[in-house]
Structure 1
């Protein structure tokens, strides 16, 4: 695995995606692949479908051809801008670009094969119209990906302090294994924290100490802290008070059906936290 895969779509989040990809690839000594996926749904909206009936088949085909040509030009411009943003971030390594047609999640298994990390924006091109909602593509990518996913914030900031929000669950165990094996955070101050409820404080503390010991046994120094309260608010408060630049956590520990019925802690943290977040499944 010698590549950072960065997924962009022309939104303002794409700029920070590229800058975080440049930072990560520089730390890892990896190449970068920038991918733009043309969403087929834009050619299937009722307005387009109605044109075939009102204008006839021949003009409809001509219009579709023009739309596809414009989309190809848009993709080329977005990819060129992405490469430019990565170069401006100081990355000097290899960069490749890909333009796919379809749905990003369908191309993911192929794209992520040689990747150590996937970078994706928290929201997409319609972010300004749905400021309080996360991008559905982002969630689908995180749920489908086999690699860790770095969900970028709206703007890039230098990564000097990282907070690992730990729970004794499989996804966090995967994060510990990654931290023990990666160079990505070699130059940052790592904070390790768990949020306890009143009824499980002793168990939470014991789990936290085990995680701390495992990281320290691998030569990773951590600032360890147990927090109290509601998880998203407790983490956000600690991040702000400690000057944290990035969050690490497990992602979507339950099914999408359960998520739809009672919500998701992952979604709540991503929505309320303005930090880039590295997610593990």
Structure 2
């Protein structure tokens, strides 16, 4: 995250994660001294075409039917707008009740990915729930839009998957030595977010070859940034090793790069990012 005073943007909807999204976004805004903005996005889906009743209805009947359909769509749109305003007001009151400054509130129309791309220049960090409205009970599933949003953005994305109870004191930085992960280290050292936290730098290897030099270099970069660093080199399946370490060490947030491999490789072998999002029991901060 850069040092400019761009927004911490919280995407809210009617899902059970919305309150937690607001709480995490408020906490993040305080840690990096950035303004908080609340976004509710309305996606308008085309109504299904009515059955062709031209053989059963006269001209007047068809015109009346079309008029009623237009009025129905207008009422539906108005209802969605009012529901969204109520969600934004609820989120605003939640922020104020916790001592936060009055956040800017915004309602946009269209696909969420398109809205976020349009706003990207003013976003410092995006905070979203792991699943949206209507998918709350689909545990171990990633929201239908989440992957497209993460891929479209060139900003860090915090994926929230649990209530905000206490601020995390430990974060785990997943590191594999790639160019993308080294770039991630630079982003970490430049952000005030990590100051004062216990940062666990974790690498998982699939064989017994030592990774000491790589890990020492990475830890040195973080320590030069004034961070409290604990290094760990693990072996085995990457996803399982990271999730086990998170649970054993009481890690409150996982920091990692997102979608570092080609789409073809991910099609063949599956996406590590999606698996971590689906199975992690703590929020993930995805660096882009």
**TM-score, normalising length from structure 1?**
0.91
| Aligned twin of 1:213 | 220
In structure 2, the gaps of 5 or more residues are 54-61
Please name the residue that 2:129 is paired with: 121
Deviates more, 1:144-153 or 1:104-113: 104-113
Does structure 1 residue 50 correspond to structure 2 residue 50?
yes
Q: Helix, strand or coil for the counterpart of 2:281?
A: coil
Q: Tell me how many residue pairs correspond in the alignment.
A: 274
CA distance in 2, matches of 1:69, 1:238: 48
Partner of 1:84: 93
Q: CA deviation at 1:235?
A: 0.7
Task: Name structure 1 gaps, 5 residues minimum.
Answer: none
Give 1:100's match in structure 2, choosing from 108, 112, 116.
108
Please name the residue that 2:38 is paired with. 34
Per the TM alignment, residue 238 of structure 1 is displaced from its structure 2 partner at its CA by 0.6
Matched, 1:60 2:64: no
Q: Partners in 1 of 2:222 and 2:286 — Cα distance?
A: 18
Query: What is the CA distance between 1:169 and its match in structure 2?
Result: 2.2
Distance 1:119 1:132 in 2: 19
Is the CA contact (8 Å cut-off) linking 2:16 and 2:136 kept in structure 1? no
Q: Structure 2 length normalisation: TM-score? A: 0.89
**Cα distance, 1:161 vs. partner?**
0.7
Superposed displacement of residue 100, structure 1: 0.6
Q: Name the CA shift for 1:174/1:61 in 2 (closer, same or farther; >3 Å).
A: same
Tell me which residue corresponds to 1:267.
Answer: 274
Q: CA deviation at 1:69?
A: 0.7
1:17 to 11, 16, 21: 21
Q: Does 1:155 align with 2:159?
A: no
TM-superposed deviation, 1:62: 0.6
Larger Cα-atom Rg: 2
Q: Do 1:52 and 1:60's aligned partners in 2 also have CA atoms closer than 8 Å?
A: no
| Residues 100 and 222 (structure 1), Cα distance of their counterparts in 2 relative to 1, 3 Å cut | same
| 174-183 vs 95-104, which moves further | 174-183
Give the deviation of 1:51 after TM superposition: 7.3
Quote the Cα distance in structure 2 between the aligned partners of 1:212 and 1:221: 9
Match of 1:234 in 2: 241
Structure 1 runs of 4+ aligned residues shifted over 3 Å read 51-55, 255-258
Check whether the contact 2:197–2:227 (CA below 8 A) recurs between aligned residues. Answer: no
